[in-house]
Amino acid sequence: MGNLFNKKTIKDVNLAGKRVLLRADYNVPIVAGKITDDYRLRQSLPTIRYILDQKPAALFIISHLGRPSGPRDTDCSLKPLARDLGTKLDRWVEFAPDCVGEIVAKMAADIPAGGIMLLQNLRFHPGEEKNDPEFAKQIVQATRADVFVQDGFGVVHRAHASTSAITKLLPSVSGLLLKKEVETIHKVMLDPDRPFMAVVGGAKISDKIDVLDKLLDIADGVAVGGALANTFLLAEKFAVGQSLVEAEAVRVARDVLDKAREIERKRNFSFLLPVDVVVAKTAESHAPTRIVDLDSQALADIQSYPRPPHHSAYTVGATEKILDIGPISAGRIAGAISLSRTVVWSGTMGVTETPGLGSAAAPFSHGTLTVTESIIGASNKHANKPFSVVGGGDTVSYVESRGLLGDFNHVSTGGSASLELMAGKKLPGIEALQDK
């Protein structure tokens, strides 16, 4: 297959005695000054430790956080990350109150040999998202960096100052996380162990149309769930009540369905739409739920026997919302996964944020839980576990909330970046790095 990653990495350059500028992705959730999900932070540690082992003159780390309203938006300050990073590395991490300017330049000049400094949020300056060469130049001037390392996989799909403009000013190479992300996703999309199953959820078709189109071409099966599936159901003329849908994307959904059906006629391929759904009038914990049997009506027949099922048993009501896939749909996906050697999963199957009341399970997480257990095994002991790649922010958050990050082969730190890479797109932040 050849080399899956043709860019220079930190292992291809001499970092000893150099002032290293590292672009990480520390866009993590912070509540009341405390990090609530440090997965991206932990994933950056192998690159940081490798750089420090090379005895650099200093290491400067830059990142963005959220969408700040301006430089005084304290909710988007990276300061809590300096403390957390220092604890994880067992090293003092200096924090600079800005990422450019005289104060930063003075602090950077005074940093002790081998010291680490985290700079303030790049997005406090409009030049970051505008890919402003002058802003990139100011970062380099403040840090007096000799070499640039790109390790923020979650941002390389954007041409920003810290992913694009800065590479014109310094020798620029990849970190270990970026290399691992690209190699894993390329391997899965170009040479997967088969059968290859893709499970795609989340909210919008428009976010995932490119990767869906690619998966139809290369996978042996594609299953859709989450709010994304609602638009497909609407395209198939099912009533969806008050469910979240993309009305403007119904035509796109119809085109995907037509392509999927055509592929099913030509080769061994399955496209799985929900055949039953969990509905409620609101997505709140106290809302009563029910299963609507959209397709075969077998469930409706069983529930109402010996009478014929009422129309409502197989129809989403005008005031109801689809908030999860039903148990039959989840079972079909689980069955397909159990026969697969590779699984890509992006997007939850329902609203996983709603907690259950008392000892009850979360009301709209049953489909997502079934998919999770079918990939890793309910006991996590079965020998036939497929090679699994998880991407997309909501999926990663769900997996982490259940303490299951280590049970999947690869959990991506990039949401949109991983989807664009899967779709076969070239990402500007990767293209800008030096070739091997």
1: pLDDT confidence band, cut at 50, 70 and 90? very low
Closest CA to 138 of 166, 157, 114, 158: 166
pLDDT tens string 178-218: 999 999 999 999 999 999 999 999 888 888 999 999 999 99
pLDDT at 3: 67
Rounded CA-CA distance 260/252 in Å is 12
pLDDT tens string 389-432: 998 768 888 998 888 989 999 999 988 899 899 999 999 999 99
pLDDT at 237: 95
pLDDT tens string 325-344: 999 999 999 999 999 999 99
Structure token digits, residue 98: 């800005």
Structure token digits, residue 22: 């590292």
Q: According to CATH, what is the number of the domain 10-177?
A: 3.40.50.1260
Report yes or no: 149 and 174 within 8 Å, Cβ to Cβ: yes
Statement: residue 9 has pLDDT above 90: yes
C-alpha atoms less than 13 angstroms from C-alpha of 287 in its C-beta half-sphere: 20
What is the C-alpha end-to-end distance of the chain, expressed in Å? 17
Report yes or no: 82 and 24 within 8 Å, Cβ to Cβ: no
Is 192-422 CATH 3.40.50.1260? yes
pLDDT tens string 38-75: 999 999 999 999 999 999 999 999 999 999 987 778 88
Identity of the amino acid at 211: V
Parallel, antiparallel or unpaired: strands 276-280 and 321-325:
antiparallel
State the chain's mean pLDDT as an integer.
93
pLDDT tens string 91-115: 999 999 999 999 999 999 999 999 9
- Range list for CATH 3.40.50.1260 in the chain: 10-177, 192-422
Structure token digits, residue 237: 């003329």
